Structure 1
Amino acid sequence: MSRIQKLLLSISCGVLLSLAWPPLPCFPFLFLGLIPILWLEEICADSANGHWSFFGYSYLALLIWNVLTTWWVGNTIIGTGDISSVFAGVFANTANPFLMCIPLIGYQQTKKHLGEKFGWIALAGYWMTFEFIHLRWDLTWPWLNLGNGFSQYPQVVQWYEYTGTFGGTLWIWIMNISGYVILRDFLLKRNVSIRRKNITGYCLLLFLPLSISVLLYFSYREKGKPQHVVVVQPNIDPYNEKFDFTTLNKQLLTLIELSRKKISPQTDYLVWPETAIPQGIFITDIKDDPSIHTAQQFLNAYPRIKLITGISAYAKYTSATTSTARYSSEGNFYWDAFNSAIQLDTSKKYPIYHKSKLVPGVEKMPYPQIFKFLEPLAISMGGASGSLGEQKDRGVFFSTDSVGVGPEICYESIYGEYSTEYIRRGANLLFIITNDGWWGNSAGHKQHLEYARLLAVETRRDIAQSANTGTSAFINQRGDVSQQTAWWKPAVIESTLFASDEQTFYVKNGDYIGRAAIVITTIFILTGLFKKIKKYNIFSHSHDL
């Protein structure tokens, strides 16, 4: 095959995966998009520099996919006007495909030493191990984990309540490997009966999970106690107004006036977005803060309502209690900054949750010993010097009638197993509070909402999403979206959500498929090492003779 043909295969892979990704409506390409990668591996395996050649074509394919799908990561330049903020997007979209190549190179090596069938098993295991790690390390960026690709059509993956998104990743690899076998059989003009058998198997692997999912979708009924919920989207410019503290009163009045349009004495919850109260508030001073006091006065007329809102919070220490604590020479104390959520009601109690899946580079400096030099770039992107503080466990806000709400801040909602801890700790509803306006009217805020649909299925929880300038909406336990708001427009919406207390198999067991993939990966790595050692010993023995 010529170099041009190989390039076309590589490009077709990147384009197909991009077309399959939300917000585009072409998810069936997920079952075809990786076939060119498998074809390229077989072609490159016979060349002199097969490893490097396969790496190069794979990297190009994955680079195209990343750039076409998440180019918006660098779009903060629209607000900052600082060209350096584009570097974040460049780094994310060039580093991520490099990391994605690691399981592919591992597959090539395993196939070479253990054969094709073991290679395919290893490929799925290596890829899911990569996704598992990518959900958990400091440079976390699981936005393009394959299982997320079905988010616009949760009707086809209702079994995520048993498998989580790893089930989708495994399904995609099974379908692409099966599709590649059929393609190869056709090109090699193999026996017709073999081709029919493989095509029959492919159809079963495709339509059986689809049929199960559709059956689950149409037979599912909402469960739980009804709760009247109002969501506010204030549409405050995150760059030019949001953190201009001379406009604090105006922002707060906007939130209150929008809220008044929909709330009633029967309203149970009112949801405001991430950092709706943006000025830093020391936790010890919350009850005396003017903004909190104003919000409390507003709530006094509605004793039933629980307001869940984002705030910027600070904690003060006498010593460096946490790894993120900074020293204040002016006040002679240590302090932490948090991106937080708080519940306000007439009880005058102030439960707080601190965001703990922090955005690398902006809210958290990953591996500071290595990346300390990037701190000025983080600040130019709207971040802070150093890292924000975190909390170990997920916090659940309870009401007097024992309904629990899991407050998810920004992109915490794309972390499936992480989010299940809210449910295990008693959350009957999930509220996502976010900004989503940092990247303009791009695919970013649309993808974020779509991913929440998968979370609703995984946990079988109703979700309310309140965005500052992005997209707000309600999502039911089947993953259906209702009352989705328009971009860059103030809005207030209301709905009845159902506070369920049931726990799905996935909630109870988490990413067990990802853990199984780690076991498979470990077995193949150890097998490969054993074969190399054995080969080396045989060679050394023969040399000695």
Structure 2
Amino acid sequence: MNLARLDRTLFFAATSGVLLAAAFPRPNLFWLAWVALVPLLLVMRRRPFAAGFTAGGVFFAIVLYWLNFVMITYGGLSFPFAVLAYLFLVVYLASYIGLATWLSSRLEVTFKLPFLLTLPFIWVALEYLRGVMFTGFPWALIGYSQQDFSLAIQSCDVTGVYGVSFILIVVNCAVAGMIAAPKSRLAWLGAVVALGISISHFGYGFWRESQPLDEQTDHLRVSLIQGNIDQMQKWDPEYRQTSIDIYHDLSLLALENRPELVIWPEAATPFYLQDRSQFATQVRKLPPKLNAFLLVGSPAYEQLAADNYRYFNSAYLFSPSGLEMGRSDKRHLVPFGEYVPLGDLLGFVDKLVVGVGDFSSGQVRSLPLDGHALGVLICYEAIFPQLARDYIRNGSDLLVNLTNDAWFGRTSAPYQLLAMTRFRAIENRVWIARAANTGVSALIAPSGNVVISGPIFEALELTGSVGLGAGETFYTRFGDLFAYICIGISAVFLFALLLAKKWQKFPLVCRERSLL
């Protein structure tokens, strides 16, 4: 391929997208994230928005490739429509990175501010906004790439995942500055600033790592039941008894490990557990056999009128005597998966999930467990930091993530979702028990380390001990304060640009010489 015939700016931008994608599961080369954006930073001056958009487009296209599998295999979409929906999402997400690089370049041209002083704040601000706008989709924030670099992610109990994203952008900017102008005092100053931030960041991580793994005084034996129920059979009425038998037998198998809490995954019962059917009765009779609490994912409903119902994606907790202790409903639903946004206008759009009607959103409702409380995050609720924080502030001593990752098949998506879930443990310094239908089931320590996990697409039970109680972290108390600060600083940047008289003179395509 003749590089001279290509747009060099977009070529190097695309290279950054590939490198950044490789930092995520899988292949999970997390160290690449520290330099992945350097090619983009060296060339984006010439085409600020297009360069960032290209890098983001390549990145999200690679990381979210599995969406095509979900939409075609389980959503029933034809290949062309699935690809169209996939590309629409990629374009939307890439626009955030394009906007970040455009604003940072604009600030450099207008006020001579180096990228190091602007891009980290703008990047974090836009990552946060991506996680809340249009119901939010904070999948694959750059900070999540560091899931296996423990020293780099311990600061999440102060800044959340956004602090990790911030330092990654700082380091990338400093490296790019040194490559572009190795003799520049400004470049060396940037390197010193990046080094100072890194030392404090990793120093905090080292200190946290030196603390005891488990500071809780109360512990609980937990068994995770991974039924490995095929998604194509899951909602088949003829397969209900087989599903119950699988979970029943695996739960009894866990008895030799003497669990105090047995956890089944999301929608483990393909029927309404609240109905007094023969299937529901079998489930309710199990806790006395186990002499343990039983947490079960199940659909639920509430009757509002004769022919008017509300449906929920829920979890029920039963005591060792079989008494129902409470129900927790999923709060953050999957757009077009569990409900259709703007249903009156988009009623013609079918949901991508094979389930029961449109689900309704629930409320924060911790479940009582022998003097303690469980906070239940269902499926991809685990990627929303605020939801986990709400449960901890509501008194939860243990977070439980029930999920059905069968939708993803043997793609990288189950590992990406597990990676993001680990950050919820660090942010609140709390244990997380994760039960997944097809995996990855795991116990996650307050340090974010996966203490025990199993393979995907195997029926199994995993038993281990977890601590009860959450740490009093800065993040739990103040939430995404760091992200808000970044938003505030970015707003100041934007306001300054709006006041600058040169605003109309800055084209989308700058004519300045790129550095590569």
1:528: which partner in 2? 497
Residues 1:124 and 1:201: Cα distance change in structure 2 (over 3 Å): closer
Given candidates 271, 275, 294, the residue that maps to 2:267 is 275
Given candidates 192, 211, 216, the residue that maps to 1:219 is 211
CA RMSD of aligned residues (A): 2.6
Residues 1:364 and 1:37: Cα distance change in structure 2 (over 3 Å): farther
2:484: which partner in 1? 515
Residues 1:256 and 1:454: Cα distance change in structure 2 (over 3 Å): same
Given candidates 312, 316, 325, the residue that maps to 2:299 is 312
Residue pair 1:74, 1:87 contacting (<8 A) in 2 also: no
Structure 2: how far apart are the matches of 1:139 and 1:404? 28
Residue pair 1:139, 1:366 contacting (<8 A) in 2 also: no
Residue pair 2:314, 2:329 contacting (<8 A) in 1 also: yes
Residue pair 1:138, 1:367 contacting (<8 A) in 2 also: no
Instruction: Quote the offset at 1:488 in angstroms.
Output: 0.9
Instruction: Quote the offset at 1:441 in angstroms.
Output: 0.5
Structure 2: how far apart are the matches of 1:265 and 1:384? 36
Question: Do structure 1's residue 390 and structure 2's residue 361 form an aligned pair?
Answer: yes
Matches within 5 A, 1:309-388: 309-318=296-305, 332-345=306-319, 346=321, 348-368=323-343, 371-373=346-348, 375-376=349-350, 378-379=351-352, 381-382=353-354, 387-388=358-359
Q: Describe the SS at the equivalent of 2:289.
A: coil
Residues 1:265 and 1:19: Cα distance change in structure 2 (over 3 Å): closer
Which stretch shifts more, 125-134 or 270-279?
125-134
Question: Do structure 1's residue 133 and structure 2's residue 108 form an aligned pair?
Answer: no
Which residue type is aligned with residue 449 of structure 1? L
Given candidates 34, 39, 42, the residue that maps to 1:36 is 39
Structure 2: how far apart are the matches of 1:256 and 1:100? 48
Matches within 5 A, 1:497-508: 497-508=466-477
Given candidates 49, 61, 65, the residue that maps to 2:59 is 65
1:252: which partner in 2? 244
Question: Do structure 1's residue 9 and structure 2's residue 8 form an aligned pair?
Answer: no
Structure 1: how far apart are the matches of 2:82 and 2:255? 40
Structure 1: how far apart are the matches of 2:402 and 2:203? 34
1:434: which partner in 2? 403
Task: Note the residue ranges of structure 2 that are not aligned, 5 or more in a row.
Answer: 506-516
2:21: which partner in 1? 18
Which residue type is aligned with residue 394 of structure 1? V
Residue pair 2:224, 2:262 contacting (<8 A) in 1 also: yes
Structure 2: how far apart are the matches of 1:156 and 1:122? 22
Structure 1: how far apart are the matches of 2:186 and 2:134? 47
Q: Describe the SS at the equivalent of 1:448.
A: helix
Given candidates 122, 146, 154, the residue that maps to 1:158 is 154
Task: Note the residue ranges of structure 1 that are not aligned, 5 or more in a row.
Answer: 45-52, 319-331, 537-545
Instruction: Quote the offset at 1:98 in angstroms.
Output: 2.3
Residues 1:176 and 1:86: Cα distance change in structure 2 (over 3 Å): same
What do residues 63-107 of structure 1 show as CA deviations (whole Å, max 9, x unaligned)?
A: 111111111112122456642445443332332112332232222
What do residues 273-304 of structure 1 show as CA deviations (whole Å, max 9, x unaligned)?
A: 000012245xxxx262433321121112344x
Given candidates 425, 438, 449, the residue that maps to 1:456 is 425
Residues 1:522 and 1:54: Cα distance change in structure 2 (over 3 Å): closer
Using structure 1 for the length normalisation, give the TM-score: 0.85
2:286: which partner in 1? 298
Instruction: Quote the offset at 1:56 in angstroms.
Output: 2.3
Structure 2: how far apart are the matches of 1:423 and 1:277? 27
Q: Describe the SS at the equivalent of 1:74.
A: helix
Which residue type is aligned with residue 221 of structure 1? L
2:221: which partner in 1? 228
Residue pair 1:265, 1:302 contacting (<8 A) in 2 also: no
Structure 1: how far apart are the matches of 2:257 and 2:493? 61
Structure 2: how far apart are the matches of 1:58 and 1:371? 32
1:541: which partner in 2? none
1:408: which partner in 2? 377
Which residue type is aligned with residue 331 of structure 2? S
Which residue type is aligned with residue 220 of structure 2? Q
Which residue type is aligned with residue 36 of structure 1? P
Residue pair 2:264, 2:295 contacting (<8 A) in 1 also: yes
Structure 1: how far apart are the matches of 2:266 and 2:435? 8
Residue pair 2:388, 2:399 contacting (<8 A) in 1 also: no
Instruction: Quote the offset at 1:250 in angstroms.
Output: 1.4
Instruction: Quote the offset at 1:139 in angstroms.
Output: 4.6
1:322: which partner in 2? none
Residue pair 1:162, 1:504 contacting (<8 A) in 2 also: yes
Structure 2: how far apart are the matches of 1:292 and 1:169? 46
Q: Describe the SS at the equivalent of 1:262.
A: helix
Using structure 2 for the length normalisation, give the TM-score: 0.89
Which residue type is aligned with residue 114 of structure 1? F
What do residues 417-440 of structure 1 show as CA deviations (whole Å, max 9, x unaligned)?
A: 221111111111111110111121
What do residues 476-527 of structure 1 show as CA deviations (whole Å, max 9, x unaligned)?
A: 1212213321121101010011102432111111111111122122222222
Instruction: Quote the offset at 1:350 in angstroms.
Output: 4.3
Q: Describe the SS at the equivalent of 1:364.
A: coil
Which stretch shifts more, 270-279 or 344-353?
344-353
Instruction: Quote the offset at 1:266 in angstroms.
Output: 4.5
Residue pair 1:175, 1:202 contacting (<8 A) in 2 also: yes
Residue pair 1:471, 1:486 contacting (<8 A) in 2 also: yes
Structure 1: how far apart are the matches of 2:162 and 2:194? 20
* Residues matched between the structures, number: 497
Question: Do structure 1's residue 54 and structure 2's residue 48 form an aligned pair?
Answer: yes
Residues 1:339 and 1:444: Cα distance change in structure 2 (over 3 Å): same
Structure 2: how far apart are the matches of 1:201 and 1:102? 25
1:242: which partner in 2? 234
Which residue type is aligned with residue 498 of structure 1? G
Question: Do structure 1's residue 492 and structure 2's residue 461 form an aligned pair?
Answer: yes
Question: Do structure 1's residue 116 and structure 2's residue 113 form an aligned pair?
Answer: yes
Structure 2: how far apart are the matches of 1:444 and 1:247? 26
Structure 2: how far apart are the matches of 1:196 and 1:181? 8
